[in-house]
Amino acid sequence: MKVLGNTILLACTILLFACGSSNNNNTNVNGNWTATLTDQSGAQAFAFTTSLNTNSDNSITGSNVTFTTNNGCFANGATATGAFSVTGNFNGNATGGFSLNLQSPATGATGNNTLSMQGTLNNNTISGTWTLAGLQSGCTGSGTFTMTRM
């Protein structure tokens, strides 16, 4: 009887670990993205492309950040870091919280500007809000954004 009890306890423990283990297949956010940011009036404020990569700790690294709009707040070479949290990954479709911060290089005419983006990933689209804080004239603002996988 004791062996049967231990066997059942072991089977339940294995089942709990199997059900509780997480398969955060965060590769669904990895890849090339294009972003369009609009201001409070609905006019396009910024647009850029970047390559996103989700790290094992769910942080995001953006590389090859290229602004496709002419602006004095960011030069190409801005860095992008953020976070991604999966709330579901069913049949290859990822959804979850998303945050990304773009920082202009600390030197030069576009130094010390930070673009913060908060949103939600739904398959191949990320949408949400953005805020820009900067030292240069005209480098503040807020609005909404949409990012689409290229």
Domains of the chain: 25-149 (2.40.128.30)
Best CA proximity match to 131, nearest among 139, 110, 108: 139
Query: Could you give the CA distance from residue 132 to residue 74 in angstroms, rounded to a whole number?
Result: 11
- Residue tagged 């990822």 (tokens): 94
DSSP 25: -
What pLDDT score does 123 carry?
80
On the question of pLDDT at 34 being above 90, the answer is: yes
On the question of pLDDT at 28 being above 80, the answer is: no
Q: What band does 76 get if pLDDT is binned at 50, 70 and 90?
A: low
Residues 6 or more apart from 117 whose CB is under 8 A from it? 35, 37, 82, 98, 99, 100, 101, 102, 128, 129, 130, 145
On the question of pLDDT at 87 being above 70, the answer is: no
- The pLDDT of 118-131, averaged and rounded, is 93
Out of 12-16, 90-94, 128-132, pick the least confident: 12-16
Handedness of CA 38, 144, 35, 76 (dihedral sign): positive
- Residue tagged 């965060």 (tokens): 26
- The pLDDT of 138-144, averaged and rounded, is 93
- The pLDDT of 41-57, averaged and rounded, is 91
Where does the chain show beta strands of DSSP type E? 31-39, 44-54, 59-67, 79-90, 93-103, 114-122, 125-133, 141-149
Q: What band does 6 get if pLDDT is binned at 50, 70 and 90?
A: very low
What pLDDT score does 91 carry?
61
Q: What is the share, in percent, of the chain residues with pLDDT greater than 90? A: 34
